[in-house]
């Protein structure tokens, strides 16, 4: 496939084989096909009603907390997204399926309320969009994230949100109410200031300018905002670290953090296919530097190492980030959560809806 033939608005250009399925579609005899093997079909939305929507996170890299994702799959199409592999658990592909088969958990708010009523519930921040973006385009219509925030406000429960979408401003009223009780942290992910790179790397996300405006708006409202300059991809956006931190600081961000790209599972072949077409002149250099950061492999599952890597390039990135943060964000920090406001409402959760 030529770069000019990229499927418009999509990051991945194919579906790698799902390791959990016995069968797969292949194109062994191209001359026998009278239509394209892969086409840019419309996004499908599939409804689910899970019995549980909050999962406990006990990763030593992330600390204790919970994760809640109203949607599975993400239309933003970020080619590097680590969440792609989780789509395979549902029987779909980590490539195009992840971007155009979106699972909607319609009962997310109601199920959350029931879980919060558990006598064994331990209060810790719930991360919204730890896997897929809770403010991806379908949220404008479904409003699942908004109803989840309404429940969290009712229960006075702490929440952490990470997004790339300016749609979060629709819920500024709820964020301001949560902030009155020190119950909310927001992270805005900004991977690059280069709009041409952003359009290839994250085809359906908001521009960096819109995300910085979002940081400014939230910060002016007094809401703690962290900017995630993530993932850092050696040879693509690592040189932008100082400019990203400076722009985040100028917009009023309270903090900044980063992770180093790692291409686990099916993400490896998806990313390799993408970069060889999008940036053929430097594809091998980028892949080699990514591998150099992860012990010679594109993937990395080692706790304590995987998020920031190791080796020469990883050390250079870490030092550049540290110095940039010292220069532009010295003395800034996210204010702590307040866990004392949590209030269970036994027998009343159905009255919330």
pLDDT reported for residue 38: 52
Taking only the tens place, the pLDDT of each residue in 264-280 is 999 999 999 999 999 99
pLDDT reported for residue 292: 94
* Separation CA 333–CA 255 (nearest Å): 5
Apex CA 197: angle with CA 193 and CA 200, to 5°?
135
Nearest to 124 by CA among 168, 78, 58, 171: 58
Average pLDDT over every residue of 45-70: 88
* Separation CA 311–CA 288 (nearest Å): 12
pLDDT band at 348 (very low <50, low <70, confident <90, very high): low
Query: Does residue 234 carry a pLDDT above 90?
Result: yes
Query: Does residue 31 carry a pLDDT above 60?
Result: no
278 three-class SS: helix
Give the phi and the psi of residue 161 in degrees, each rounded to 5. -120, 135
pLDDT reported for residue 2: 43
Is the Cα dihedral 5, 229, 315, 132 positive or negative? negative
* Separation CA 351–CA 101 (nearest Å): 33
* Separation CA 51–CA 299 (nearest Å): 32
pLDDT reported for residue 25: 54
Query: Does residue 350 carry a pLDDT above 70?
Result: no
Average pLDDT over every residue of 207-223: 97
Residue 88 Cα distances to 132, 146, 162, 298, angstroms: 14, 27, 23, 20
Give the phi and the psi of residue 101 in degrees, each rounded to 5. -125, 90
Average pLDDT over every residue of 247-256: 98
What six digits make up the tokens of 246? 């400076």
Query: Does residue 120 carry a pLDDT above 80?
Result: yes
The sheet that has 184-189: what strands, in order across it?
Answer: 54-57, 65-68, 126-128, 159-163, 184-189, 225-228, 255-257
Query: Does residue 89 carry a pLDDT above 70?
Result: yes
Cβ contacts of 153 within 8 Å, gap of 6 or more: 174, 177, 178, 183
| Cβ atoms within 10 Å, residue 222 | 12
Query: Does residue 220 carry a pLDDT above 80?
Result: yes
Average pLDDT over every residue of 233-257: 98
Tokens 């429940």 locate to: 151
* Separation CA 149–CA 215 (nearest Å): 19
pLDDT band at 63 (very low <50, low <70, confident <90, very high): confident
Query: Does residue 24 carry a pLDDT above 60?
Result: no
Distance between the two ends of the chain, CA-based, in angstroms? 49
Query: Does residue 224 carry a pLDDT above 60?
Result: yes
Tokens 């909607």 locate to: 104
Average pLDDT over every residue of 47-51: 93
- For every residue of 182-226, DSSP letters joined together read T-EEEEEE---S-HHHHHHHSTTSPPHHHHHHHHHHHHHTT--EE
Least confident of 1-5, 162-166, 201-205, 210-214: 1-5
DSSP state of 232: B
What six digits make up the tokens of 336? 């702590």
DSSP state of 260: B
Residue 39 burial by Cβ neighbours in a 10 Å radius (0-12, 13-18, 19+)? exposed
- Residue 130 contacts residue 72 (beta carbons within 8 Å): no
pLDDT band at 14 (very low <50, low <70, confident <90, very high): confident
Mean pLDDT value across the chain: 89
Q: Say which residue, 260 or 17, is predicted with more confidence.
A: 260
Q: What is the pTM of this model?
A: 0.88
pLDDT reported for residue 343: 93
Give the phi and the psi of residue 187 in degrees, each rounded to 5. -115, 130
Average pLDDT over every residue of 16-24: 67
Taking only the tens place, the pLDDT of each residue in 287-331 is 999 999 999 999 988 887 888 999 999 999 999 999 999 999 999
* Separation CA 65–CA 58 (nearest Å): 7
Query: Does residue 1 carry a pLDDT above 60?
Result: no
């Amino acid at each position: 496939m030529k770069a000019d033939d990229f499927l418009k608005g999509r990051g991945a250009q194919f579906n790698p084989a799902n390791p959990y399925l016995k069968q797969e579609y292949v194109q062994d005899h191209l001359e026998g096909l009278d239509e394209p093997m892969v086409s840019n079909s419309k996004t499908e939305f599939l409804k689910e009603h899970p019995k549980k929507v909050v999962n406990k996170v006990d990763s030593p890299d992330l600390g204790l907390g919970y994760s809640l994702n109203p949607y599975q799959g993400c239309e933003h199409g970020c080619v590097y997204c680590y969440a792609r592999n989780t789509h395979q658990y549902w029987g779909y592909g980590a490539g195009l399926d992840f971007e155009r088969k979106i699972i909607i958990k319609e009962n997310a708010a109601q199920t959350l309320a029931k879980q919060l009523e558990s006598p064994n519930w331990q209060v810790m921040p719930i991360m919204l969009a730890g896997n897929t973006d809770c403010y991806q385009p379908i949220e404008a219509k479904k409003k699942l994230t908004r109803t989840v925030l309404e429940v969290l406000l009712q229960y006075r429960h702490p929440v952490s949100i990470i997004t790339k979408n300016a749609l979060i401003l629709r819920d500024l009223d709820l964020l301001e109410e949560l902030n009155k009780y020190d119950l909310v942290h927001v992270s805005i992910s900004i991977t690059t200031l280069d709009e041409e790179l952003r359009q290839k790397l994250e085809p359906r996300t908001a521009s960096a300018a819109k995300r910085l405006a979002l940081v400014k708006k939230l910060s002016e409202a007094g809401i703690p905002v962290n900017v995630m300059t993530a993932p850092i991809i050696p040879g693509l956006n690592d040189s932008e670290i100082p400019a990203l931190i400076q722009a985040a600081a100028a917009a009023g961000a309270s903090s900044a953090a980063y992770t180093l790209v790692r291409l686990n599972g099916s993400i490896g072949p998806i990313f390799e296919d993408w970069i060889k077409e999008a940036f053929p002149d430097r594809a091998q250099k980028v892949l080699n530097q990514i591998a150099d950061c992860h012990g010679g492999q594109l993937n990395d599952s080692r706790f304590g190492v995987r998020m920031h890597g190791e080796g020469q390039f990883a050390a250079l990135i870490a030092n550049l980030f540290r110095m940039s943060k010292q220069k532009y964000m010295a003395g800034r920090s996210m204010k702590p959560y307040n866990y004392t406001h949590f209030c269970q409402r036994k027998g009343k959760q159905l009255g919330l809806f």
